[in-house]
């Protein structure tokens, strides 16, 4: 066969093969996040799981193309929640779950929470602390297409000091109160801290989560005391960087926050009793705040129910809601970097978008709040080269809500369309 004949045959084959189908979304309004503007009458063209183009007006689809009518909706990049716990959801008897549930029970239940999160518009989450295996396996199951859920960046087991907020044996009776070590995420001293980070890497975690202060829901009296020394924190941050991992830090109290920021962590989670001094340090070092207002408001409300929390937890829970809201308002005015996070698993999964309303009530514009859950969250994860905005060449994670969230942020709780990696999971 001559060269010319080969070329002619290939051209003929190409002419009869169908073109790869595209998905064309007709959006009444579009927020692409990077320019902070609301665009009207836009066509978003998706091809091969990525954004191919963004066209003004409603373009017609070709043969085989799928055209989705969202002309009465606002389309945004997929939302990202930077603080979730998909393994569980708080209830009045949650402290006894560990005695009655196997790892398989937790894993199967977490698939329900994962799907609920995706359907609420959150296509990417950080999972910041579990039993050490759940979120890694959940992530694999989602990536392999076995179950439906968001893209997960997991910390695996949170790091704690003995008796600290993430010590898994807190509050147990003597014969259960074993002395945990780095494999279980409990560290005392720089050497154990270094080993604990390496263990998380070995486990398959993507980042490190540590509890720099006491916690509201842990079975301990103090929710604010610092729980890591400066040298322990520095070793964790330095070792995490060696392994290409970021560091997220649970912190309510001021001193623990300050030590963590000075050590060079990437984000402060909660930040409840943050001072102006800590805010200034965060601004200087580019540290993100992930405020989790939803969790503070939720636990404060539940603290009013007699018997819902153990007696040691109840006063801490009652105090946190108003303080969390005041801190957030100060953080907005202070100009520190903020990424969206809810602590879902404390507050219910699937209600993540409620956080948008709390953020707007705390002084953010609706556009800023949406950017915190898209562009800023992607920057915190260091994936803004491929996610966080709707631009040609980026991964097609898309969410749509009825109406206009710039006029009424509460419509973010009425998600009607969800696409992740170019695959539609929910549509009108």
Chain segment 159-203, per-residue pLDDT in tens: 999 877 766 665 554 655 566 778 888 999 999 999 999 999 999
**Predicted local distance difference test score (pLDDT) of residue 3:** 44
3 state SS of 81: strand
Instruction: Show the tokens assigned to 182.
Output: 């780095």
**Predicted local distance difference test score (pLDDT) of residue 361:** 97
Question: Rounded CA gap, 75 and 373, in Å?
Answer: 14
**Predicted local distance difference test score (pLDDT) of residue 91:** 87
- Is the confidence at residue 205, as pLDDT, over 90? yes
The model's confidence at residue 316, banded by pLDDT at 50, 70 and 90, is confident
Q: Options 3.40.50.800, 3.20.20.140, 3.40.50.300, 3.10.450.50; which CATH number does 79-381 get?
A: 3.20.20.140
**Predicted local distance difference test score (pLDDT) of residue 166:** 66
| Helix spans in 303-424 (H) | 314-334, 354-361, 366-372, 375-381
Nearest Cα neighbor of 270 from 186, 210, 198 is: 210
41: left (phi over 0), alpha (psi -120 to 50) or beta: left
How confident is the model over 29-42, as a mean pLDDT? 96
Place of tokens 């100009």: 335
- Is the confidence at residue 11, as pLDDT, over 50? no
Residue of higher predicted confidence among 170 and 66? 66
Contact indicator for 226, 259 with CB cutoff of 8 Å: yes
3 state SS of 225: coil
**Predicted local distance difference test score (pLDDT) of residue 174:** 61
Question: Rounded CA gap, 292 and 412, in Å?
Answer: 17
Question: Rounded CA gap, 358 and 363, in Å?
Answer: 9
**Predicted local distance difference test score (pLDDT) of residue 17:** 40
Chain segment 72-130, per-residue pLDDT in tens: 999 999 999 999 999 999 888 888 887 888 999 999 999 999 999 999 999 999 999 99
What is the share, in percent, of the chain residues with pLDDT greater than 90?
78
The structural domains of the chain, with segments of one domain joined by +, span: 20-77+390-426, 79-381
- Is the confidence at residue 4, as pLDDT, over 70? no
**Predicted local distance difference test score (pLDDT) of residue 184:** 86
**Predicted local distance difference test score (pLDDT) of residue 12:** 44
Q: pTM for the complete prediction? A: 0.92
Instruction: Show the tokens assigned to 374.
Output: 């898209």
| CATH level 2 (architecture), domain 20-77+390-426 | Roll (2.30)
- Number of neighbours of residue 192 by Cβ within 10 angstroms: 17
The rounded mean pLDDT for the chain is: 91
Cα 39–359–89 angle (5° rounding)?
110
- Is the confidence at residue 13, as pLDDT, over 90? no
- Is the confidence at residue 419, as pLDDT, over 50? yes
Question: Rounded CA gap, 258 and 226, in Å?
Answer: 10
**Predicted local distance difference test score (pLDDT) of residue 198:** 98
Nearest Cα neighbor of 126 from 169, 83, 187, 75 is: 83
How confident is the model over 272-292, as a mean pLDDT? 97
**Predicted local distance difference test score (pLDDT) of residue 165:** 73
**Predicted local distance difference test score (pLDDT) of residue 181:** 77
- Is the confidence at residue 348, as pLDDT, over 70? yes
SS3 per residue for 111-177: HHHHHHHHHCCEEEEEECCCCCCHHHHHHHHHHCCCCCCCEEEECCCCEEECCCCCCCCCCCCHHHC
């Amino acid at each position: 066969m001559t060269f010319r004949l080969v070329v002619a045959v290939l051209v003929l084959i190409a002419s009869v093969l169908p073109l790869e189908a595209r998905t064309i979304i007709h959006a009444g309004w579009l927020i692409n996040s990077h320019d902070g503007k609301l665009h009207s009458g836009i066509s978003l063209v998706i091809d091969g799981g990525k954004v191919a183009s963004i066209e003004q007006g409603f373009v017609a689809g070709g043969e085989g193309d799928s055209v989705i009518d969202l002309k009465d909706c606002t389309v945004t990049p997929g939302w990202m929640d930077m603080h979730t716990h998909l393994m569980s959801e708080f209830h009045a008897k949650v402290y006894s779950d560990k005695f009655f549930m196997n790892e398989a029970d937790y894993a199967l239940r977490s698939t329900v929470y994962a799907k609920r999160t995706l359907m609420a518009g959150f296509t990417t989450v950080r999972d910041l602390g579990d039993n050490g295996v759940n979120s890694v396996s959940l992530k694999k199951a989602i990536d392999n297409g076995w179950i439906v859920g968001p893209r997960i960046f997991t910390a695996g087991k949170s790091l704690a000091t003995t008796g600290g907020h993430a010590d898994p044996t807190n509050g147990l009776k003597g014969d259960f109160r074993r002395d945990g070590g780095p494999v279980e995420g409990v560290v005392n001293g720089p050497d154990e801290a270094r080993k604990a980070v390496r263990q998380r890497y070995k486990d398959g975690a993507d980042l490190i989560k540590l509890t720099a202060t006491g916690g509201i829901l842990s079975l301990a009296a103090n929710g604010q005391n610092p729980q890591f020394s400066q040298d322990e924190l520095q070793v964790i941050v330095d070792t995490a960087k060696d392994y290409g991992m970021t560091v997220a830090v649970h912190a309510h109290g001021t001193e623990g926050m300050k030590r963590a920021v000075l050590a060079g962590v990437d984000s402060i989670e909660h930040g409840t009793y943050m001072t102006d001094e800590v805010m200034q340090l965060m601004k200087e070092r580019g540290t993100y705040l992930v405020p989790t207002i939803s969790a503070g408001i939720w636990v404060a409300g539940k603290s009013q129910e007699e018997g819902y929390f153990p007696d040691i937890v109840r006063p801490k829970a009652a105090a946190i809601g108003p303080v969390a809201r005041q801190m957030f308002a100060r953080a907005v005015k202070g100009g520190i970097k903020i990424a969206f996070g809810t602590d879902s698993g404390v507050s219910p999964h699937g209600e993540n978008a409620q956080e948008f309303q709390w953020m707007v009530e705390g002084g953010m514009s609706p556009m800023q709040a949406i950017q915190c859950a898209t562009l800023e969250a992607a920057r915190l994860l260091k994936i803004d080269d491929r996610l966080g905005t709707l631009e040609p060449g980026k991964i097609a994670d898309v969410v749509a809500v009825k109406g206009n969230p710039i006029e009424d942020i509460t419509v973010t709780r009425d998600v009607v369309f969800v696409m992740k990696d170019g695959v539609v999971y929910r549509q009108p």
